[in-house]
Amino acid sequence: MTHGDHHTGTAHDHTGHAADPHDGDHGGHAKGSGASWSTAAKATLHCLVGCAVGEILGMAVGTALAWGNVPTMILAIALAFVFGYSLTLFAVRRAGLDLRSAIKVALAADTVSIAVMELVDNAIIAVTPGAMDAQLSDGLFWSALLGGFAIAFLVTTPVNKWMIGRGKGHAVVHAYH
* pTM reported for the whole predicted model: 0.75
Q: What is the mean pLDDT of residues 92-105?
A: 90
Residue 60: which pLDDT band, with cuts at 50, 70 and 90? Answer: confident
Q: Tell me the per-residue pLDDT of 36-53, one tens digit each, with 9 for 90 and over.
A: 898 889 889 988 999 999
The C-alpha atoms of residue 86 and residue 50 are separated, in whole angstroms, by 8
pLDDT value, residue 177 = 59
For the chain, the straight-line distance linking the first and the last C-alpha, in angstroms and rounded, comes to 13
Q: Tell me the per-residue pLDDT of 125-173, one tens digit each, with 9 for 90 and over.
A: 889 999 888 888 899 989 999 999 999 999 999 999 998 888 877 767 7
Q: What is the mean pLDDT of residues 87-111?
A: 90
What is the chain's mean pLDDT, rounded? 80
Three-state SS string over the chain comes to: CCHHHHHCCCCCCCHHHCCCCCCCCCCCCCCCCCCCHHHHHHHHHHHHHHHHHHHHHHHHHHHHCCCCHHHHHHHHHHHHHHHHHHHHHHHHHHCCCCHHHHHHHHHHHHHHHHHHHHHHHHHHHHHCCCHHHCCCCCHHHHHHHHHHHHHHHHHHHHHHHHHHHCCCHHHHHHHHC
Residues 163, 170: contact at Cβ < 8 Å?
Answer: yes
